[in-house]
Amino acid sequence: MGEFCKVERDGHVTTITIDRPEVMNAIHPPASRELSAAFDAFAADPDAWVAILTGAGEKAFSAGNDLKFQAAGNAIDGPPTGFAGITSRFDLAKPVIAAVNGLALGGGFEIVLACDVAIASENASFGLPEPRVGLAALAGGLHRLPRQIGLKPAMGMLLTGRRVGAREALALGIVNEVVPAGELMAAARRWADQICECSPVSVRATKRVVQEGLAHASLREAMEARYPAISELVKSEDFVEGPRAFAQKRKPNWKG
């Protein structure tokens, strides 16, 4: 339990909750540092396979940067892992699921874009309104959004600062599923459990290869590149256990 976030472990699933509901879970540097420490612990724990990231309360996942904190002249000195300790965390091979329980604006939306899977409640909305206050989405939004939904839809959001609701976000490919607000955490846990049914070594190799492959200009270059994560997978116990369990018609015993 921290001052600005809560962390809970249940089996192989870690739930991290941004806990500043009084300011719609807006993030200031102390919260970013605390969240970064939570993700550090998640990354280092061999028994933690998947993380769910959500916000406290029913109104907001995160309203983004705490502009009042910034306007008061406080130092803006966040961690090297980026906004909320995740937007510049490029070495995390474990999957992170965003459970979006309301507004995800500015940096809050950039947090969602930095996650691997996103589940939204029906009352969720998304936007990068930075140009409306003379700023820019510099925590990855300018680069992740075009890569995830395509250039024209992304520019339509980026240049206007407009919000999109949960259903439009689903159609655009920003989120994977939309559910009633009361079912959000159960849906996120369902996704986490489905991931945990898979080999954690395979899951992490998959995430790493997808991320590294996107750095190549062509499909052929991506497919012909060498990926250390695949070498690790081939040498793992899971690489043997998976086919063996399939042949024996039993549940695999993943070693991770």
Catalytic residue numbers read 110, 130
Helix (H, G, I), strand (E, B) or coil at 41: helix
d(CA 115, CA 131): 23
Task: Please report the sign of the dihedral spanned by the C-alpha atoms of residue 88, residue 256, residue 193, residue 6.
Answer: negative
Q: In what order do the strands lie in the sheet with 125-127?
A: 60-62, 103-105, 125-127, 164-165
Q: Are 31 and 56 in contact (CB under 8 A)?
A: no
Closest CA to 131 of 103, 109, 162: 162
Q: Count other C-beta atoms under 10 Å from residue 228's C-beta.
A: 11
Amino acid type, 197: E
Helix (H, G, I), strand (E, B) or coil at 103: strand
Closest CA to 195 of 85, 87, 18, 48: 48
Helix (H, G, I), strand (E, B) or coil at 220: helix
Please, what is the Cα angle at 122 between 117 and 123, to 5 degrees? 110
